[in-house]
Amino acid sequence: MTASDLLLLVVRANLVAAAAIGLILALRPVMTRRFDPRVTYALWALAPLAVMASLLPARRVVIAAGSMASRIAENQASALPPPALVPKAVSLAAPLFDPVPWLVGAWALGALLSLGLLAWRQYSFGRSLGTLRREAGVYRSEARGVGPAVVGALRPRIVVPADFEARFEPEERDVVLAHEQAHFRRGDPLANAMLALGQCLFWLNPLVHVAAHYVRLDQELACDAAVIARFPGARKRYAEAMLKTQLAPMAAPLACYWPGRSAHPMKHRIAMLKAAPAAGPRRTAGLALVGVLSLGVGLAAWAAQPARIETRRVTITGPAPAEVEAARRRADAAAVEAEAQRRSAAEAHAAAEAERRQVERQRVATDWEVRAGERSARLAEIRRAMAEQRRAEADARAGLAEQSAVAAEQARVESEVARVAAEQARVAVESALRDSRASMRIADQTRAAVTSAVLSAVGDELSRQGVAR
């Protein structure tokens, strides 16, 4: 089986499953109102039967070789040229990427991941129960408030919580165990295992996961109906026991657990307890109707497959009449001519296909050249813009240099003015120094004259004093 065949098989199974589930969901409210909940639960067998019917070998149609029907079938089968007549150029021009193996691989990977998640959930649920001890035909877990439930698929066991006797009255324990034993008798553990496997294989189909929810609900309602039929006077006790049940933190995928208030709509179960049980003939009629629907849907799913056409050569014993022999020869000649025309058409088709692919390749190459030219033009435009930017930067630097030169010239002029001012100040200082030196000389001369006058006056005074003595 090739990857294409497997992908076609998966798609067909998903489509058939979706159609069957849609039909069941449409009929489910009517079946629930008209018949027993056990009939509604049996209606879900329609979906796997339809899927299995769609996977059966298709019907076979045998036609005589050389007949008009066989020629029509051969012409339809040879719509595409045979591989032997396809030129090598066509094989080389085949598409480089085939998505079919990737799609099949993605589906298989999703199925394996779903199986791994299923195993992990079952393992986690088993660990939450703790060590199981066998007591009077049931297994008692170490956890309190978990269960009761039927755990396992191949070797199912009834597991009750550690506080089973403390939480339930004796009559309540009887109906609870009767509920779990009903799961055993109906084969629900194996059905749940097949349901979990179907969810893994049809992981991409949302209707399958919706159906799994309703299958669990109808399964519990069917067991409720079986228990009420067995204990018709224990409806009140059964409802009280139903309200006392609890679920584990993580529900097991391979278990028929006693659902708590958060797992299924309790109003459906309470309403079922209040309703009058369906009579035996009505339930039998409902099961017969389910059987007829399953058979019809299965036949429809099987008949929807394309038929396999086989040609067989019919041998006529005895001498053939001359007219029949002549007609056979004319038919053979027409068949040979038609075969030659078909081969010519196939060769022409192959040549046209090769030419088309060659033109396509040339168009792709031309597109690449055009894109390369566009890229080169864009690169040249970018380089030109960069050169313009560099020129603008150079002009800006030249302007800055010119401004710097003007500023330097202004600074030079200012320094020259400062130098002239300094020179003038120096000349003024030198003139002031000369004036101060002249003033100092005059002062020295004046001081010398004063000193000489004082000394002369002192000498005269001393001379007068000497004469007087």
Strands 157-160, 138-140: pairing is parallel
Is residue 260 one of the residues assigned to a domain? Answer: yes
pLDDT at position 20:
93
User: Which of the pair, 446 or 335, is modelled with greater confidence?
Assistant: 446
pLDDT band at 144 (very low <50, low <70, confident <90, very high): confident
- Mean pLDDT of the chain, nearest integer: 81
Query: Average pLDDT of 356-375?
Result: 88
Residue at 463: amino acid letter: S
The values of phi and psi at residue 234, to 5°, are -110, 30
The values of phi and psi at residue 149, to 5°, are -160, 155
- Decide: 241 and 205 in contact? Cβ < 8 Å: no
pLDDT at position 22:
93
Please count the structural domains in the chain. Answer: 1
pLDDT band at 230 (very low <50, low <70, confident <90, very high): confident
pLDDT at position 87:
47
Is residue 344 one of the residues assigned to a domain? Answer: no
Instruction: Assess whether pLDDT exceeds 70 at residue 262.
Output: no
**Largest Cα–Cα distance of the chain, in whole Å?**
213
Is residue 420 one of the residues assigned to a domain? Answer: no
* Residues spanned by the domain of 149: 127-202+219-273
The reported pTM is 0.59
Is residue 191 one of the residues assigned to a domain? Answer: yes
pLDDT at position 93:
47
pLDDT at position 24:
92
Tell me which residue has tokens 């409720």: 224
Residue 190 to residue 154: CA distance in whole angstroms? 7
pLDDT digits (tens, 9 = 90+) for 181-212: 888 888 888 999 999 999 999 999 999 999 99
Is residue 175 one of the residues assigned to a domain? Answer: yes
Instruction: Assess whether pLDDT exceeds 70 at residue 387.
Output: yes
pLDDT at position 261:
44
pLDDT at position 311:
64
99 prior amide bond cis, ω within 30: no
User: Which of the pair, 455 or 316, is modelled with greater confidence?
Assistant: 455
Instruction: Assess whether pLDDT exceeds 80 at residue 307.
Output: no
pLDDT at position 106:
92
pLDDT digits (tens, 9 = 90+) for 47-100: 999 999 988 887 776 665 555 555 565 565 555 455 544 444 444 444 556 788
pLDDT digits (tens, 9 = 90+) for 437-460: 888 889 889 988 998 888 888 888
Which residues are CB-neighbours of 35 under 8 A, at least 6 positions away? 278, 282, 283, 285, 286
Tokens of 250: 């993580």
- Decide: 335 and 66 in contact? Cβ < 8 Å: yes
Give percent above pLDDT 90 in the chain: 17
Is residue 261 one of the residues assigned to a domain? Answer: yes
Is residue 207 one of the residues assigned to a domain? Answer: no
Residue at 81: amino acid letter: P
DSSP H or E segment with residue 310? strand 308-312
pLDDT band at 251 (very low <50, low <70, confident <90, very high): low
Is residue 165 one of the residues assigned to a domain? Answer: yes
Query: Average pLDDT of 268-279?
Result: 62
